[in-house]
Structure 1
């Protein structure tokens, strides 16, 4: 993917701000832990928000420092960039529409919260819109992009059946049951797929 010259600064800032955001949230979480450090860290990385922001951090870091490596070349693909754009957008959309009013965060937790759920999703979208050459994508590109959220769902349900804890209320099988949980997940899946198709449509229009 041919990037504009100014994109190098985008990589550096994107890498640093996403690392800071995840690191700050981890620090806040550890300082407020009620279980062991190991258990807290495992639970921390069981949130889609944390995993996806970590993915963003790895993405920008690779394009900044390791662009010629296999991982750097993989992230340099426009298809990969588009998939990550949708992943982080869903983080922001679901949180701000469904979860923001469920709990109250203050202090450094508030800073981390806004970075993870608002600033970084918008930042990545702006990057996708203005700092990439939007190459043409095909409609069938969308299906493989669903593997990541699907793998996360399977992991979460299996882990939840063992630990009896779930990271988000809309996938809490204990309170909702499997039927309602799967209906909720289907709704989130529709959001993912709809955004995938929208991004593909934009790329097609750009290359018409």
Structure 2
């Protein structure tokens, strides 16, 4: 199935479609959040900066870019079924990990939290359920996976750790535009005022470990499937044989 041109064509078309769907969901939510900020007289620049400080938003945007790139590249190269180049394959493994983490964390820790008035339900579901689910399916079913080194699993943790450091340094410097509190944390489990720094530290360790573990799983699946996915010869080479 992986080597079928029909399957590869359909899956890459799905990648492009899902990328568009995710970007539409992000754009619609940004527009809704901005409109609410204007209507309530909040600082729009802060609201926009906060919007792009959510790991969910960063994961969705980056994954949409990567899968769209893969899909467009496939069609631009004449629908040739060939192993993804190393940099693109690594980026795909990373964003797949981040999106799976996004889906798991949201549905386990944040699903019961009431949504803000400006939150669009359909957009929220795309970013937290359907987008992550597609990236999981891409790991399991996507064509032309490359066998990546195990070290890539640990490299996958670099961006989330950098995001956590950025969040914890920035949060005390931002006035919450909704409540007026002298701090703003994108997620309750990172807010030390709710459970203390010990609770925050535990969540950080658990999430970091989960990211590395999931990245190992993503890479393990890619390695197992990649063994059975040699590079297809170019059309001219195929004819010469």
Question: Which residue of 2 is the match for residue 160 of structure 1?
Answer: 171
Distance 1:108 1:169 in 2: 17
Higher helix share: 1
- Single out whichever of 116-125 and 174-183 deviates more from structure 2: 174-183
- The total of aligned residue pairs comes to 203
Distance 1:169 1:105 in 2: 14
Name structure 1 gaps, 5 residues minimum: none
Name structure 2 gaps, 5 residues minimum: 77-83, 175-182, 229-241
Give 3-state SS (helix, strand or coil) of 2:114's partner: coil
Bigger radius of gyration among the two: 2
Structure 1, residues 22-60: CA drift from partner, whole Å, max 9, x if none? 011112212322412211101111100011111122223
Distance 2:16 2:95 in 1: 17
Question: Which residue of 2 is the match for residue 176 of structure 1?
Answer: 195
Distance 1:22 1:93 in 2: 19
TM-score by length of 1: 0.86
Distance 2:168 2:119 in 1: 30
Question: Which residue of 1 is the match for residue 161 of structure 2?
Answer: 150
Return closer, same or farther for 1:56/1:29 CA change in 2, 3 Å cut-off: same
Question: Which residue of 1 is the match for residue 141 of structure 2?
Answer: 130
Give 3-state SS (helix, strand or coil) of 1:202's partner: helix
- Single out whichever of 37-46 and 168-177 deviates more from structure 2: 168-177
Distance 2:106 2:203 in 1: 14
Question: Which residue of 2 is the match for residue 24 of structure 1?
Answer: 28
